[in-house]
Amino acid sequence: MADIVLFDLDGTLTDPWEGITRCVQYGMEAAGYHEPDRRKLTPFIGPPLMDMFMGEYGFTKERAELAVEKYRERFGEKGMFENEIYEGIEDMLKALRNSGRRLGVATSKPEVFAVPILEHFHIDSYFEQIVGSELSGERVRKGDVIREALRRFDVEEAQEKPVVGGREELVWMVGDRKYDVIGAREAGIPCVGVLYGYGGHEELSAAGADRLVSTVAELRELLLAL
């Protein structure tokens, strides 16, 4: 049985497209870049913002920092709530908790935003630990976030399987982007890729996802069977 299940937030528990793309657009405008088509900003869902602004759009470090600052300004005011929980998520979380699984969230989103989003959708109580990045720029890589989540669960990384309390503990990560899969591998745990999010079959398969599911219903069935 999977003892601990860690969930990504954006694209896995909730659909944040509206809020994230509007906030990215707002940040870009402040940094002098105009992008009228928010559909082109969908790739910002998942990876660290600095990486996207600098790597994909060629912003300088200073320009990217301004864009991130303005993004967070709007996101903190209203962007975080321009968001929708995927149908069936709460029922799945309830079923997993009732079956004895321990649940956590591991997201690259700043923790100060992740917690109120989960509270807004009334699903925060299902999670023992909610782990995100820091506004200072620390712990933005998914592998680092997952390792911190394992630490808060008192799980020690081992060569074969994570160990807690002197026994093997089976921990799974669930996410929709390659960053979730890569981060899970770095932390030594398997990952379920969800195709209803923003990564897609090709991306998740290429990253090496251990399992793939197309719907929340399939995810629930799989996790209860692990």
pLDDT, tens digit (0-9, with 9 covering 90-100), for 98-128: 999 999 999 999 999 999 999 999 999 999 9
Q: How many domains does the chain have?
A: 2
Sign (positive or negative) of CA dihedral 76, 38, 31, 15: positive
* Residue-averaged pLDDT of the chain: 93
Verify that 59 and 136 share a domain, yes or no: no
Verify that 118 and 178 share a domain, yes or no: yes
Verify that 104 and 130 share a domain, yes or no: yes
Verify that 73 and 107 share a domain, yes or no: no
Alpha helices, DSSP H only, in 78-141? 89-98, 111-120
Active site residue 154: no
Residue 27 token pair: 């940040």
The boundaries of the domain holding residue 50 are 17-81
- Residue pLDDT, tens place only, 150-208: 999 998 754 345 544 444 558 999 999 999 999 999 999 999 999 999 999 999 999 99
Please state, for a pLDDT cut of 90, what percent of the chain lies above it: 87
Q: Running DSSP on this structure, what letter comes out for residue 210?
A: S
Residue 10 token pair: 């954006």
44, 21 contact by CB (below 8 A): yes
- Hunting for tokens 């996802």 — which residue is that? 209
- Beta bridge partners, 168, equal 163
Which of residues 81, 105, 128 is at a domain's end? 81
List 8, 144, 176, 180, catalytic entry: 8
